[in-house]
Amino acid sequence: MMYNSTRSSDVLVTSAQAITRGIAGDGGLFVPDSFPPLTRFDFMELQKKDYASRAAFILSKYLTDFSYDEIVECTALAYNNNSFVSESVAPLCPLDDRLYMLELWHGPTCAFKDMALQIMPHLMCKSATKTLNGKSIVILVATSGDTGKAALEGFKDADKTRIIVFYPEDGVSPMQKLQMTTQEGVNVAVYGIRGNFDDAQSGVKAIFTDTDVSKQLDSNDMVLSSANSINIGRLLPQIIYYISAYCDLINKGKIKQGDSINIVVPTGNFGNILAAYYALKMGLPVNRLICASNRNRVLTDFINSGVYDKNRSFYTTSSPSMDILVSSNLERLLYHLSDNDSSEIRRLMEQLNKNGCYCVSDSVKSRINSLFEAGSCDDNETAMTINDVYKQYGYLCDPHTAVAVNVYKQYLNKSGDSSATVIASTASPYKFSYSVLQALGEKASKTDDFENMEKLHQLTGCEIPKTLKAISGKPIRFTDVCNAVDMKNVVFKTLNIDGQ
């Protein structure tokens, strides 16, 4: 298996190269040159395995320049009961006989980003050994709240690695901010930026394609990489849990091999739902992929109209990890759906850069609509959904997951589609105690999130994750804030490089 850039057909690299580089030199994203098919027999074998072994099997189809032993080493280090509180790593929790929550937040930082970022540092380390001749890696991360912490936890104190995280100063939840500013580790740095996630993400992308940066780092024996979902090493591990959930549904006797399911994903940067599309391309029987947005409904409008237009107001919502107007991974979907037409992708991305919008061809539009549904809801509807789901099912969900439930109910009312449905539950409700308490009609403290957690626990009896509780006593290590335009200098300063 080799990897292409979405923006030029002559780039061809191994998975180890794609993972260490993070993004292609032409600004494109690395994509696999084909989708390895899963046979009926493969599914039967996968049903018998635990999560780590399913992971090894699926990853081995993509990481063909890794030995099977190397992959098993990585999956065993990542998917065990030290890192994940749940026995089955990503458990399915039934709401009723057709509707299932796929809980992706039992890792150390209580959001789905752990599913990839617990294994990615191990994949990165092995990739570096294959490709970097002893150079060290500098991981740059732009975060809308959850990736930052998950990447810091994954990469802290990793050998020959530095990690620098940028988050929007006023765009993350109090708990998300505390998780990052109290981060331990000798190789980590965390900065707030004055701006939103899109500013942080375009700042990081600009640094990646800045030849001055790569030269300066090179002369210091360093290379840049990314832990954002622009890195294919983030995306591939996310395929695993959709296939694993399907196997679990069969094992529970809820579906038969070959039955189609719906998958609903609360979406921001389009990484998580793209992984579901990759699973579909490998042969996972999927009826509809349902893309759920908050009030920043750029993806809903795109899927329903074929026009991507980021020229609109940006809203700060109760689901901050989805407050995004430029969804990077959509570029990968468009590449696949336009039959790998990299010059078309280059044209669309130039338009996005220049005018902030683009329109896809009729054939791409109809392919999108043959697979995807899309919908959105605002903060009020999100809060009502948290309350309804708690009342109806006794299930406590976070605001991101609630957006997905709301959009699924809209789809169900419209379509009457009774296929078994898996909703990606992307964060622990305790990461967003303030919003969740308010949604349940309770008073919440604006200043003390630990008080909110305790109150939510008293009210519902749901267990507070240990890792969130533990933050309460930790000293704050990182308080620096910078402008988005200064990110390059901040990187140089953090690495002790004289950028002038």
Chain contacts with ligand PLP (rule: CB under 6 A): 111-113, 146, 229, 266-272, 321-322, 400, 426-427
Would you say 269 or 342 has its CB closer to ligand PLP? 269
Would you say 192 or 268 has its CB closer to ligand PLP? 268
- Among 372, 393, 288, which residue's Cα sits nearest to residue 330? 372
Would you say 75 or 426 has its CB closer to ligand PLP? 426
Give, in order, the Cα–Cα distances in Å from 294 to each of 128, 265, 314, 325, 472. Answer: 38, 12, 11, 11, 30
Residues 6+ apart with CB under 8 A from 422: 92, 100, 102, 242, 245, 249, 261, 262, 263, 264
| 151: helix, strand or coil | helix
CB 320 → ligand PLP: shortest distance, Å? 9
Classify residue 111 by its DSSP letter: B
Would you say 195 or 268 has its CB closer to ligand PLP? 268
- Among 19, 1, 87, which residue's Cα sits nearest to residue 52? 87
Would you say 71 or 151 has its CB closer to ligand PLP? 151
Give the whole-angstrom CA distance, residue 76 versus residue 95. Answer: 30
Would you say 224 or 322 has its CB closer to ligand PLP? 322
CB 427 → ligand PLP: shortest distance, Å? 4
CB 19 → ligand PLP: shortest distance, Å? 18
| 137: helix, strand or coil | strand
Whose tokens are 């490089």? That residue is 497
CB 202 → ligand PLP: shortest distance, Å? 15
Residues 6+ apart with CB under 8 A from 470: none
> 439: which 2 tokens?
């949604």
- Among 3, 28, 29, which residue's Cα sits nearest to residue 15? 3
Would you say 27 or 145 has its CB closer to ligand PLP? 145
CB 332 → ligand PLP: shortest distance, Å? 12
Would you say 270 or 277 has its CB closer to ligand PLP? 270
Would you say 54 or 400 has its CB closer to ligand PLP? 400
Q: Using alpha carbons only, what angle is made at residue 499 by residues 21 and 194, rounded to the nearest 5 degrees?
A: 80
* Distinct helix (H) and strand (E) counts, the chain: 22, 16
Would you say 216 or 425 has its CB closer to ligand PLP? 425
CB 322 → ligand PLP: shortest distance, Å? 5
CB 272 → ligand PLP: shortest distance, Å? 4
Taking the CB of residue 488, how many other CB atoms lie within 10 A of it?
Answer: 16
CB 426 → ligand PLP: shortest distance, Å? 3
Helix 232-251 to helix 51-62 angle, to the nearest 10 degrees? Answer: 130
Give the whole-angstrom CA distance, residue 233 versus residue 78. Answer: 14
Give the torsion sign (CA, 332, 337, 341, 346): negative
Give, in order, the Cα–Cα distances in Å from 118 to each of 43, 122, 157, 277, 321. Answer: 25, 8, 14, 22, 19
CB 143 → ligand PLP: shortest distance, Å? 9
Would you say 24 or 175 has its CB closer to ligand PLP? 175
- Among 249, 49, 231, 41, which residue's Cα sits nearest to residue 151? 231
CB 429 → ligand PLP: shortest distance, Å? 11
CB 113 → ligand PLP: shortest distance, Å? 6
